[in-house]
Amino acid sequence: MRKPTLLSVVAATTAALTLAACSTGTATTGSSSSSSSSSSSSAKPGGAGGDVGVFTWWAAGSEKKGLDALEALFKQKYPNDHFVNLAVAGGAGSNAKAKLASDLANNQPPDSFQGHAGAELTDYIAKGQIEPVNGIVDELGGESVFPKDLLGRLTVKGNIYSVPSNIHRANVVWVNPAVTKKAGITAAPKDMASWIEDMKKLKNAGVNTPLTIGGTWTQVQLLETVLISDLGPEKYAGLFDGSTAWDSAEVKKAAADFKTLLTFTNTASDGDDWPAATDMVIDGKAAYNVMGDWAVAEFADKGKKDGTDYTYFPVPGTDGVFDFLADSFTLPKGAKNPEGTKDWLRLIGSPEGQKAFNLAKGSIPARTDVPASDFPPYQQSAMASFKKDKIVSSIAHGAAVNLAWLSDISTAVSKFYASKDDATLVKDLAAAAKKNQA
């Protein structure tokens, strides 16, 4: 059973994140905490020294390039420290999170580990496995540079438990316009029904795979975007605070639409990661892929030109909604080199760290003082959307639900992928909510 104070993090999905609001205001209660564990000594020139083991799931593709960019900058800024890359392969951290849970349970924490801002972190907080980092956030500029509501998603009982490195958008459709042109499709569909009709046109035009997917986590992400489309942002947010029933008519419609979408996809195995699905669009073997905006770096890496070789739009029916997640880093309790960890947190939260990382990864800075003009077209469009769109939290990436609830949702989706029984999917999702909202 989760404590009500932790559930409040999930309830924050209804909050409107606006960049305009983050440049004003005073420090949060969390950032002014006097807890000894949240205090931070000033950085030593060259760093504290010693190994700094950083645990992520950024082991391949654009994610690895983003981590590589941070590692290079870390070596420049903190030459006394030795970065140790503890990345574990696995889509959306599935394998990494299992290993991390084992290491933490056995009192063998890394010096820092990647997590998702929001409900995912409440598991570690409840178990006493991570320390507050209020002092570091203050040192980096607090609310004067980070969105107030983003810090709210990181705050539990007045303490902030991680430093955000970026902001990602999950509800993006990546498009190969040369493929859609074969079916006479030249504009983004306005809603889910129109998108399904476009996929039928693609099939009739000889495109065998209108839409690509990967393993279970990518299917959970696709499902969440269909839920946003069919429920709207308010009712979608209500799924996590109990005000929207998981067996409502709108959820049933979303499950049926999800089932229909899967009739237009490739066959995927549970362990398949996202790059292969994105590459099918890049290579002209498919028209669409729903993926977070880390995919833009994959297109760039293959030499593809924005607006010519690929285009993008929000999942139909979600225009004006920003499906939010953020990668953030922690200070684990019992870390061997906590001062070295603070150097790492200072770097990933700094303007130069956020610029280097997000340019490589395709996301946008969590800080508001990194100029949009430093970024290519997609990131500029994402920054503009983040300022004005309604913000909802991602299921697949731990912003809306904690690890246990996500595991139950993932099991339900994996089961559905084998059975294609949407009625059972709704029942399983409702059962997962009842279990985890208790």
Between CA 413 and CA 397 the distance in angstroms is: 15
419, with CB counted inside 10 A (0-12, 13-18, 19+), is exposed
Token pair, residue 394, equals 């991602």
* pTM for this model (two decimals): 0.86
Structure confidence at residue 93 (pLDDT): 59
Query: Taking 90 as the threshold, does the pLDDT of residue 37 lie above it?
Result: no
Residues 104 and 117 in one domain: yes
Q: Are residues 310 and 411 in the same domain?
A: yes
Q: Take residue 43 and report the two structure tokens written for it.
A: 């950085």
Same domain, 161 and 190: no
More confident residue, 417 or 91: 417
CB 325 within 8 A of CB 116: yes
Residue 387 in any domain: the answer is no
Contact 75, 83 (CB under 8 A): yes
Q: Can you tell me the mean pLDDT for 132-148?
A: 95
Q: What percent of the chain has pLDDT over 70?
A: 89
Dihedral angle of Cα 410, 416, 422, 425, to the nearest 10 degrees? -40
Per DSSP, the chain holds a count of helices (H) and strands (E) of 18, 16
Dump pLDDT digits (tens) for 343-379. 999 999 999 999 999 999 999 999 999 999 999 999 9
Rounded to the nearest 5 percent, the helix, strand and coil shares of the chain are: 50, 15, 35
Verify that 175 and 217 share a domain, yes or no: yes
The CA R_g of the chain, rounded to the nearest whole Å, is: 21
* 314/407 same-domain check: yes
242 within a domain of the structure (yes/no) = yes
**87 pLDDT more than 50:** yes
pLDDT exceeds 60 at position 81: yes
Which of helix, strand or coil describes residue 164?
strand
Q: The domain that contains 200 carries what CATH number?
A: 3.40.190.10
Whole-angstrom distance, CA of residue 359 vs CA of residue 375: 7
Specify whether 287 is located in the same domain as 308: yes
Question: Measuring CA to CA, how many Å separate 321 from each of 41, 169, 418?
Answer: 40, 10, 30
Cα three-residue angle 168-394-319, rounded to 5 degrees = 75
Which pLDDT does position 6 carry in this prediction?
Answer: 34
Identify the sign of the CA torsion 326, 332, 107, 65: positive
Structural domain contains residue 212: yes
Q: Are residues 333 and 249 in the same domain?
A: no
Report H helices in 215-267. 216-241, 249-262
Do 159 and 261 belong together in one domain? Answer: no
Residues 274 and 417 in one domain: yes
Please report the pLDDT score of residue 17 as a whole number: 34
CA nearest to 120, candidates 345, 396, 411: 396
pLDDT score of 196 more than 90:
yes
Print the domain residue range for 199: 169-323+397-436
- 388 part of a folded domain: no
Q: Is 327 left (phi over 0), alpha (psi -120 to 50) or beta?
A: beta
**Would the pLDDT of 31 be above 70?**
no
CA distance 289 to 433: 28
Q: Is position 341 within any domain?
A: yes
Q: Is pLDDT larger for residue 437 or for residue 262?
A: 262
| Distance, CA of 365 to CA of 349 (rounded, Å) | 9
Mark whether 358 and 235 lie in a shared domain: no
Identify any residues that bridge with 156 across adjacent strands, giving them in sequence order.
159
Query: Quick one: which of 118, 116, 113, 150 has its CA closest to 129?
Result: 113
Indicate if the pLDDT at residue 15 is higher than 90: no
Residue 383 lies in a domain: no
Could you tell me if 8 and 124 lie in one domain?
yes
For 299, the token pair is 């297109």
Number of domains in the chain: 2
The answer on 402 and 283 residing in a single domain is yes
Dihedral angle over CA of 136, 141, 142, 144, nearest 10:
180
